Structure 1
Amino acid sequence: MASSGRRVASVTYREEARALIAQVDDATANRLLQGALDLHVHSGPSTMPRQVDHFQAVEEAAAAGMRGILFKDHHYSVAPFIPLMDRVLGHHNVAMFSGLVLNNSTGGLNPFVVDAQLKQGAKLIWMPTAQSANHIRSSSRKQRLVSNVKLKPSPGLTVVDSYGEILDVVKEILDSIAEFDAILSSGHLHVWEIWKLFAEAKKRGVKRLLVNHPMYGLHFTYDDIKEMAEFGALIEQSACLYVDSRFNVFSPRELKEHILAAGVAHSSIGSDLGQVDNPTPVEGMRQAIKLCIALGFSEDDVRTMVRDNPATIVGLQVA
């Protein structure tokens, strides 16, 4: 019954989102897309079905006037391919970034892999996502990361030992992230793990902290979001969870609450899109912009979240 109730709520939320999105004209959204960055693009190739490949993602971003995108795949890093892509796609003037997700499929919590990837240009290191212990526990009865390739069962990864202390290999990884001034993402760890991780990271000199979709699967409270933002992390909301997407699980009202918990100054929006049967990353960003305007956020608020804050965390000058 509870599962059925969630499905009904999700359909209702999508209808609410559609209605609010329709209130804002395309010209407004397109204007606010100029110079925007999407730091959560799931283009292909991938183990999972993708609607657009990396080249198409760049081309569509360029057509929308966006400034940059960051490619994320749960099972490999796009970072080593960025120089080749830049040679082919550089004329679009879209900054391209990627990084490494520390799942078992990429080496897990392996400081040697992290070191090599950072030296190949990785801009962001995500903690484990689909193969984190928290993700495996949280999604045991609902799996949204549907793959067209059945991967081997994976042991759950955690960044802490049995006493709740940060593992030595993770400390070594944090030192490398600090050395390269890269971004550290929470991945899909539990909020308790993230607090421990980010405290250790800051102590070791990591300056760029990012939390992805805190209210989905990470077990954040509103107080956690507020305090994490005050701690210095950028809080990224995933558009796919709020717009006209098959991943929609939150109401428009909750989007506003989730943003305000951190504050606009500490918030960003990434599409978290690229999957089949969903809006494209650019269309997801466009819908999220419209939804924010319809919810009462100002155009300056939206620019802060989709342009300025993402630019700052990847090390670009704010336009």
Structure 2
Amino acid sequence: MTAADTMNRPDPAQIAEILQGAVDPHVHSGPSIAPRALDHLDLARDLSQAGFAAVVTKDHDYSGVTCAELIRAHNPDLATRVYSGIVLNNVVGGLNPYAVEHTAAMGGKIVWLPTLAAENHLKWEKSSGWQHPASTQKIRPASAVPLADEQGRLRPELLDILDVCASTGLALASGHIHVSETKVVFAEAKRRGVERLIFTHPEDIVGATFDDTLEIANMGAYVEHSLAFFLEGSKFRNRSTEELGAFIDLVGPERTILCSDLGQVGTLTPLQGFRQAVGDCLGLGYGAAAIRSMVAGNAAAVIGLED
């Protein structure tokens, strides 16, 4: 190894310092019907040792708010606060305002619009070859959860959910719906007083261009990028480090959230993902303050940790 190679390597101490107070708002720990590499408690212990402030667990099939409450209540020594949310897929009844209200009442932080049950996702599956790891083993395949009626009007249940988000402060994330649907739903959400909006991984599944992404950011949404798609060593990688930089530059670090979207078997752990991502961002030329916004401050703001 040459002296130049050593100088270009990310400094582990600097990476560790930047990650103090970090927040992962989108992570797939278990228990889950799909195989997971670690459970919610193991994740919290892992992130606590690294100084993370909070994590929001996400499962496509259930609201994890009761698990999060148990972990918080019985592990007061953990530095990382564990939260969860709800994804509006078939298992929770799709567009179910009652389930969203319960999630908010139990301290949930995010409601995701349909993912595996999004009409857009089901179309994408057919061309991508991807399939939910458990769909043919334990549960029936997903069926579409439409957001609008045949006349294109947003369904009353969805409007009810937007009102719940507005009144409780839940963040609304776009999930796997198409970018064209995201624009319509987010515009209505804003009209109804929803203040916390998250555009989920424009880099994959949702059909977004750079222009789309910028338009949604200009609506006041944070743009959340899944590190799983960008990191060398991730089995989900389909984008380069340079492309991550282009996405960040598009809306600026002040509107960008980096989440792991990890926790699956056979790939990087969420903590490994964050450490590698911080090193990649340093290599791209971003300063410590900008990176800290993307891995900590922006996520903390959108889930209400600063309230």
Instruction: Name the TM-score class by shorter chain.
Output: over 0.9
Q: Give unmatched runs, 5+ long, in structure 2.
A: none
Give the aligned partner of residue 223 of structure 1: 211
Q: Give unmatched runs, 5+ long, in structure 1.
A: 1-18
Query: In the alignment, does 2:225 pair up with 1:237?
Result: yes
Structure 1 residue 164 displacement after superposition: 2.3
CA distance in 2, matches of 1:202, 1:219: 22
Give the aligned partner of residue 89 of structure 1: 75
Structure 1 residue 144 displacement after superposition: 5.6
Residues 158, 189 of structure 1: 8 Å contact kept:
no
Residues 80, 122 of structure 1: 8 Å contact kept:
no
Alignment equivalent of 1:46, drawn from 32, 50, 53: 32
Structure 1 residue 221 displacement after superposition: 0.8
Aligned partner letter, 2:26: H
Structure 1 residue 88 displacement after superposition: 1.8
Structure 1 residue 147 displacement after superposition: 2.8
Structure 1 residue 241 displacement after superposition: 0.4
Residues 27, 260 of structure 2: 8 Å contact kept:
yes
Structure 1 residues 1-319: aligned runs within 5 Å? 23-141=9-127, 142-143=129-130, 145-147=132-134, 149-243=137-231, 244-317=233-306
Deviates more, 1:74-83 or 1:184-193: 74-83
CA distance in 1, matches of 2:178, 2:70: 36
SS of the equivalent of 2:76 reads helix
CA distance in 1, matches of 2:100, 2:215: 28
Structure 1 residue 146 displacement after superposition: 2.4
Residues 80, 121 of structure 1: 8 Å contact kept:
no
CA distance in 1, matches of 2:279, 2:149: 44
SS of the equivalent of 1:235 reads strand
Deviation above 4 Å: which 4+ runs of structure 1? none
More relative contact order, 1 or 2 (CA 8 Å, 6+ apart): 1
Residues 51, 79 of structure 2: 8 Å contact kept:
no
Residues 183, 313 of structure 1: 8 Å contact kept:
yes
SS of the equivalent of 2:25 reads strand
Structure 1 residue 43 displacement after superposition: 0.5
Cα distance 1:189–1:285, how it changes in 2: closer, same or farther (>3 A)?
A: same
CA distance in 1, matches of 2:106, 2:17: 34
Structure 1 residue 165 displacement after superposition: 2.1
Aligned partner letter, 2:133: V
CA distance in 1, matches of 2:241, 2:170: 32
Question: Per-residue CA shift, 1:244-274, capped at 9, x if unaligned?
Answer: 2000000111111111112111001000000
TM (norm. structure 2) is 0.93
SS of the equivalent of 1:116 reads helix
Structure 1 residue 158 displacement after superposition: 2.4
CA distance in 1, matches of 2:9, 2:151: 52
Question: Per-residue CA shift, 1:205-224, capped at 9, x if unaligned?
Answer: 11100111112011111011
